[in-house]
Amino acid sequence: MAEIAVSLVGSLIAGISTLVEKEATLLQSVPENTRFVKDELQTIGAFLGVVENMKEDSPKYQMARVWAEQVKDLAYDMEDCLEEQITALTTRNSSWSQYVTNYRALRPFAAKLSDLKSRIVEVSERNMRYHLVIADQVIDNHMNFMVALNKVLSRSVEGTTDNWTQNVVTWAEAPEESASNDKTCAPKVTAVVGMFGSGSTRVSEIYKRHKADKKYESYVWIELSQDVNVTKVFKDMMKQLFDDSSSQPEYTGEDELAHGIQHELKQKRFLVVFDELWTTHAWHSIKKALPHVSRSGSQVIVTTEIVHVAKGCTESDDHVYWVQLLSKQESFERLKNLILVTENSKMTHEDREDFEDLDLKELDRLKVLEPPFNTIEQILRKCRGLELAIGTVAKLLASKSPHKWGKLCDDLPSLLYSNHPMLKDIWKVMIQRYKDLPPYLKPCFLYLSIFPENSDINVEIIIDRWLAEGLVRDRTGMSPRTVAKWYLLWLIDRSMIMVSNLRKNRSFKTCWIHPMMRDILVMISQEEKFSITVGPRKSSSLLVKRLPHVTLDGGSGRKLARCVDLSGIRSLTVFNEPSESIAALICSSKLRAVRILDLSNANEFKITRRDIERVGELCHLRYLNLYKTNIYELPSSIGMLPFLQLLNVRKTRITKLPNEVTQLGKLQLLRASRRTEDSCHNRRNRCCIDSALTVPKGIENLQDIERLDIMDIKDNSGSEIEALGKLARLEHLGLAGITIGNSKQVSKTLKRISSSLTYLYLGACQSDGTLACLPISEKKRKKPLEFPRLQTIKLDGHIGKMPYWISNSWTLAVIKLYRTNLQQNHIMSLEKLPCLVTLALLDNSYISETLVFYDKAFRELKTLEIIRLTKLKTVIFTEEAVPQLRSLAIRCCELRLKGKNNLKLRKVDLDDGVEEV
């Protein structure tokens, strides 16, 4: 796969450059060969850029694809060779001058390098010999397009998330004005967004209904292609406007056609639908045929799968609607009806009667039905509310006896990928959406096939793993993490993946892929030798030399080594307990090339320190995720991982990090917290937060660290706390255990890193701690403390008064307060924050009996949470307060709520203890 090879070659060139500088005095052949390899890789990289943009119908596509696969294998071997050498240099105790004289250590590397040089020459000559690709072919730069959509994509995810949960209502009903009403106005333009054509399906039903009812005077339905021919579109509109071809005016040019359509529509009440619009450029070319003024009630509906295109067609976000997938009940009824009305159904009379009597409540109650309808639940999960999927699967089921539905369901992924005639419609849509992705996004999207079907995928895990795998391309002026986020937003904008858990209208925590789209990705991954899942009925019987991504999802009845070559594995992810122990895998001498070890989903079975005792031998490791495992202690060998970028030990049993962690020079993210038992049994209203871990000595050595949470500084010396101030790249910091004794050091540290922080959590010691002792709570006369990039602040503990740098921030979007003991005047100091969208008052953070939100206060606030404020008795919203508020949650409180009718809420979560007056 050329896309993956390009990513590998790019990272290799940077690694080689570093090695050449360090090894200038090595064996004579080493620097010469290394420079040669670098130059050849740069040339090959240019050719690969052409291959990844090559169309499948190109005569040389298949040969070029094989060549790219050979380059990919070569790049893997080259990367392993280089990193082994760098690891040896990094971990060796002797000095560099002593090491260069050790020819025994150098000779194996020189021999491998010489062999790799020969292979590179062979691969390069093969391309020239068969004239596969030429360097002067055009290479599209999709990143420029993506960067240009910066503001549009941001609003798509953050600003209009409420619309995503609305049902399509306002445009579903035709106007009720009588035909004699001559009132005119601008026609309303509505955009309908839906996954894989679901918007088209829904609008088509409404269009047909209105046309049958003759609610409008003129009807036009135009199906668009990706390459829109505007003249052809206008001619199609003219044909539909003039049923009698003899009365159709003779127009030829594009402008003449547009003028003629305008003239015909401006005196009528019309419904015009443009189906499957792909670009805003096409819309601007098409809309010139629409009149500026027409009969009142005229509508233009645009269907699309692309959020930013939908927003580009309308004047207001309120005119963009997301077509929700069908509910389980709706899906069941649609599936049932389609099967029953299908002609030539293979159902017996008895089966038909049983199927007609089948009820979803019975299905949910019994959980497991008797044959032949015991697979209905599985089918509904596979279709997941997508009308196109339900329709195609219903046809397939109706063509077979119900007693064969179980096997059909099991075979559905392979039937789908093999383009079964009855699944052709959905296969065509989904495979085309994958092929339309920019080349650099294909491996990133394909990577998501690693995660189980119908699972919510944590977006931070996706981004972290993309970065660790080297799938994110460098972009001038943008950090790799920023580029990765835009990759994700691009996929969401195209409805390729769906947001499943919105977080305070500003971000999203999880996402998911439609099960049938995932089936296609799984089949492509196996065909491209990209990834495989090993588990019950999921393992391959073929031993593949280079299969980089392996997922263990339960016992398979045989050892992993019988399914894949362990030496080629670069990522190992565990979701369910495998047939062999994790310790046995990590101890294997063959499993040494692995870059990703993700055990975060293995909380259903125990993983202990013994399992990861020899993790230090995985010298290439970049990503180690132990989230929610039962590990009590990290082995000291953790310090032997020179390339480790992420270490996640959140919600484990670990209480202290070993000092060897500070030897991880490339570590960028350290996520740490200790699992604690909730004091509340109600998960929704839990009272405890996770305990922090102590700061290890030598933390200042982690100069690449960007995220550090949560660290307990209660027992640390002042020098160790101040050492945190030397971490110049730190963006995300969580500190707990703040006391009067260490507050001075904390303030000094925050001043040193204030310019880089985007997230800050400060927690007072649970027993006697307070945040009021921090000097940052006071306004400085000369130069007040500023956090110019801070977006999220969480304070846990008494603060005395609202810090000046919070109440005057221009960037804060989220404020969460715990146990702060604030009163009305403190809340009023936050009223004018220009970017604040979320305010959470939790756990006695507010101690007055009355809380008032005054007129014109909190102009941008969208989410308000009031939880566990035991002293609060009344909350009042005045007439013009919080005008943008859409979500209100009041829980674990007994109080009176006044002025709720003054709010334009879309989501309300009130406990029984809240009395509305």
| Domains: count for the chain | 7
Identify the domain boundary among 762, 781, 812. Answer: 812
* Residues of the chain under the 70 pLDDT cut: 1-57, 61, 85-110, 112-113, 116-117, 126-182, 244-247, 365-369, 501-507, 537-545, 557, 603-604, 675-690, 767-768, 776-784
Residue with tokens 């050091």: 745
Q: Is residue 283 part of a domain?
A: yes
Per-residue pLDDT at 192: 93
834 and 808, same domain (yes or no): no
What is the rounded distance in angstroms from the CA atom of residue 292 to the CA atom of residue 281?
19
> Is residue 793 classed as helix, strand or coil in its secondary structure?
strand
Tell me which DSSP letter residue 544 carries: B
- Look up the domain containing 507 and give its range: 443-467+476-515
Backbone angles phi, psi at 267, to 5 degrees: -100, 10
Per-residue pLDDT at 165: 35
457 and 548, same domain (yes or no): no
What is the rounded distance in angstroms from the CA atom of residue 247 to the CA atom of residue 809?
66
Report the interhelical angle of 376-383 vs 405-417 (nearest 10°): 20
193 and 286, same domain (yes or no): yes
Q: Is residue 647 part of a domain?
A: yes
Nearest in space to 839 (alpha carbons), one of 879, 870, 881: 881
351 and 265, same domain (yes or no): no
Q: Is residue 137 part of a domain?
A: no
Identify the domain boundary among 660, 677, 711. Answer: 660
828 and 808, same domain (yes or no): no
Per-residue pLDDT at 684: 45
Strands 294-295 and 184-185: antiparallel
Report the interhelical angle of 103-130 vs 29-51 (nearest 10°): 30
Per-residue pLDDT at 555: 73
224 and 246, same domain (yes or no): yes
Per-residue pLDDT at 638: 93
308, HSE (Cβ side, Cα atoms, 13 Å): 20
Per-residue pLDDT at 834: 94
2 and 111, same domain (yes or no): yes
What is the rounded distance in angstroms from the CA atom of residue 704 to the CA atom of residue 662?
11
313 and 375, same domain (yes or no): no
**Amino acid present at 637:** S
- What sections of 131-166 are H helices per DSSP? 142-148, 150-154, 161-164
Kindly report the length of the chain: 917
What is the rounded distance in angstroms from the CA atom of residue 559 to the CA atom of residue 709?
37
Per-residue pLDDT at 43: 66
364 and 488, same domain (yes or no): no
855 and 788, same domain (yes or no): no
End-to-end CA distance of the chain: 64
CB 877, CB 898: distance < 8 Å: yes
Q: Is residue 148 part of a domain?
A: no
Per-residue pLDDT at 685: 44
How is 689-735 classified by DSSP, letter by letter? -PBPEEPPTTGGG-TT--EEEEEE-TT--HHHHHHGGG-TT--EEEE
111 and 4, same domain (yes or no): yes
Residue 185, strand partner residues: 294
What is the rounded distance in angstroms from the CA atom of residue 38 to the CA atom of residue 44?
10
Q: Is residue 569 part of a domain?
A: yes
What is the rounded distance in angstroms from the CA atom of residue 381 to the CA atom of residue 790?
41
CB 199, CB 192: distance < 8 Å: yes
552 and 644, same domain (yes or no): yes
Per-residue pLDDT at 27: 43
Nearest in space to 692 (alpha carbons), one of 762, 747, 608: 762
| Contacting residues for 369 by C-beta, under 8 A, at least 6 apart | 363, 376, 377
Identify the domain boundary among 283, 303, 322. Answer: 322
- Sign of the four-CA dihedral 639, 641, 642, 645: negative
Query: Which segments of 307-405 are extended strands (E)?
Result: 320-322
Per-residue pLDDT at 840: 96
Task: Please report, for residues 552, 610, 636, the alpha-carbon distance to residue 630 in angstroms, rounded to integers and kept in the order given.
Answer: 19, 11, 17
Per-residue pLDDT at 103: 45
What is the rounded distance in angstroms from the CA atom of residue 673 to the CA atom of residue 657?
10
Q: Is residue 218 part of a domain?
A: yes
Q: Is residue 674 part of a domain?
A: no
What is the rounded distance in angstroms from the CA atom of residue 655 to the CA atom of residue 609?
13
The token pair that represents 533 in the structure block: 């899942």
Q: Is residue 434 part of a domain?
A: no
CB 796, CB 770: distance < 8 Å: no
CATH assignment of the domain containing 313: 3.40.50.300
